[in-house]
Amino acid sequence: MNRKQQKVIEYLLEENQILKQQFESTGKKLRLDNHQRRNLARRGKAMGWAQLQKYATLVRPETILGWHRKLIALKYTGKRLVKTDRQERMEVIRELCVKFAEENMGWGYGRIQGALSNLGYKLSMTTVGNILRAKGIIPSPERGRQSNWKTFVRSHMDVMSVADFFTVEVWTLRGLVRYHVFFVMNLAKRQVEVAHISCQVNGAVMAQVARNMTDGYDGILKGRRFFVCDHDPLYTKEFRQILTDSEVEVIQARVGCPQQNGYAESFVSAIKRECIDHIIFFSEKSLRRAVGQYIEHFHQERNHQGLDNLIPFPNGPQVQAESGLIVKSERLGGLLNYYHREEKEVLEAA
């Protein structure tokens, strides 16, 4: 070991000592997770007892070597990797108990016990209760009164729409202008419709947009019962009143909880990441074209993870075969691509 290496070691030792003193002065103890203990044990064993006594500052050398002995024992024990059939069966039962309780707020221990028996798992109500209490899930009557937002959305998805704004900077003859894009999504179908695109957005404009959306003939919200949005000031009192008068209940997500309007937020993130952020717009027409092309791609060509990777409104039947001509469809100059196989009838006709 040369002099420079020795100085580095002395500096690190001093640094560790200062950190240790700061922990002790505040009354806190150094908390190490299992990964950190394994790393210290592995390196400490390689150093040896003499070196550990000289350089170990965070924990005692005996502790480090004790961790190493446990590591060795864990490596060669069969309990670490091998699970019995009973253990695997109980893991499945625990997952099902939690799943049934979370998805069915009114189910008590007996109802969950019955559902498990339908699947071939026989166990007592006491066992069901112990599993749910260990997971922090309260009993049925209280759980039913505390129905969460996720359950509410899942139960009313067929009659619910969500909405949001996003802004885009557009170059015009007047310079750089900020445009607002207001869209509404039908949750059940994942169908997105643009309700308004303009650089002029105020209360009067939004009131007219609300009247258009609630039109009884072809309004976007026809057949909807719930309209979910955030607390943007553009959702004025008049805007909300027009929707309420049309028997559409307006639900505004809690401040600081964007996940309550997560479907709309996800669409905004996707269209910006996949389209808007890659284009410089020089007119309102170019913005409308890009948004329209992306929405067509979103509906007809894009796989949706929330729908088990299905396409909501595919152009034609999807060929699942692993053979055949692969065709690429482009939008916006290749910014949005879709790959599919030609049908056999089309190939034979060609």
Same domain, 203 and 99: no
Q: What is the mean pLDDT of residues 285-302?
A: 94
Is the residue at 348 inside a domain?
A: no
Residue with tokens 């309700």: 195
Structurally, the chain folds into a number of domains equal to 4
Are the C-beta atoms of residues 312 and 299 closer than 8 Å to each other? yes
pLDDT digits (tens, 9 = 90+) for 225-269: 999 999 999 999 999 999 999 999 999 988 888 888 999 999 999
Same domain, 221 and 203: yes
Same domain, 262 and 167: yes
Same domain, 207 and 261: yes
Same domain, 27 and 43: no
| pLDDT band at residue 347 under the 50/70/90 scheme | very low
Of 136, 227, 234, which Cα lies nearest the Cα of 185? 227
CATH number at residue 254: 3.30.420.10
3-state SS track over the chain:
CCHHHHHHHHHHHHHHHHHHHHHHHCCCCCCCCHHHHHHHHHHHHHHCHHHHHHHCCCCCHHHHHHHHHHHHHHHHCCCCCCCCHHHHHHHHHHHHHHHHHHHCCCCCHHHHHHHHHHCCCCCCHHHHHHHHHHCCCCCHHHHHHCCCHHHHHHHCHHHEEEEEEEEEEEEECCEEEEEEEEEEEECCCCEEEEEEEECCCCHHHHHHHHHHHCCCCCCCCCCCCEEEECCCCCCCHHHHHHHHHCCCEEEECCCCCHHHHHHHHHHHHHHHHHCHHHCCECCHHHHHHHHHHHHHHHHHCCCEHHHCCECCCCCCCCCCCCCCCEEEEEECCCCEEEEEECCHHHHHHC
Is the residue at 27 inside a domain?
A: yes
Same domain, 96 and 192: no
Strand partners, 165: 182
Q: What is the pLDDT of residue 225?
A: 93
Same domain, 266 and 165: yes
Q: What is the pLDDT of residue 349?
A: 52
Domain boundary pick from 102, 119, 147: 147
Is the residue at 200 inside a domain?
A: yes
Q: Which long-range contacts (CB under 8 A, 24 or more apart) does 316-320 make?
A: 316/343, 317/343, 319/343
What average pLDDT does the chain have? 84
Is the residue at 303 inside a domain?
A: no
Q: What is the pLDDT of residue 240?
A: 95
Q: What is the pLDDT of residue 31?
A: 73
More confident residue, 295 or 78: 295
Q: What is the pLDDT of residue 170?
A: 95
Is the residue at 46 inside a domain?
A: yes
Is the residue at 15 inside a domain?
A: yes
Same domain, 211 and 231: yes
Q: Above 80 in pLDDT, residue 81?
A: no
Same domain, 6 and 60: no
Please tell me the number of Cα atoms within 13 Å of 41 on its side-chain side: 16
pLDDT digits (tens, 9 = 90+) for 151-163: 778 778 889 999 9
Is the residue at 2 inside a domain?
A: yes
Q: What does the alpha-carbon distance between residue 223 and residue 214 come to, in Å, rounded to a whole number?
A: 9
Q: Containing domain of residue 50, as a range?
A: 33-75
User: Picking from 78-92, 94-108, 176-190, 256-270, which range would have the lowest pLDDT averaged per residue?
Assistant: 78-92
Same domain, 164 and 229: yes
User: Picking from 6-10, 170-174, 259-263, which range would have the lowest pLDDT averaged per residue?
Assistant: 6-10
| % of residues, the chain, pLDDT over 90 | 38
Is the residue at 283 inside a domain?
A: no
Q: Above 80 in pLDDT, residue 79?
A: no
Domain boundary pick from 274, 294, 317: 274
Q: Above 90 in pLDDT, residue 14?
A: no
Q: Above 60 in pLDDT, residue 82?
A: no
pLDDT digits (tens, 9 = 90+) for 94-146: 999 988 887 787 788 888 899 998 998 988 989 998 998 887 777 776 665 55
| pLDDT band at residue 76 under the 50/70/90 scheme | low
Same domain, 10 and 41: no
More confident residue, 348 or 142: 142
User: Picking from 36-45, 74-83, 239-248, 327-336, which range would have the lowest pLDDT averaged per residue?
Assistant: 74-83
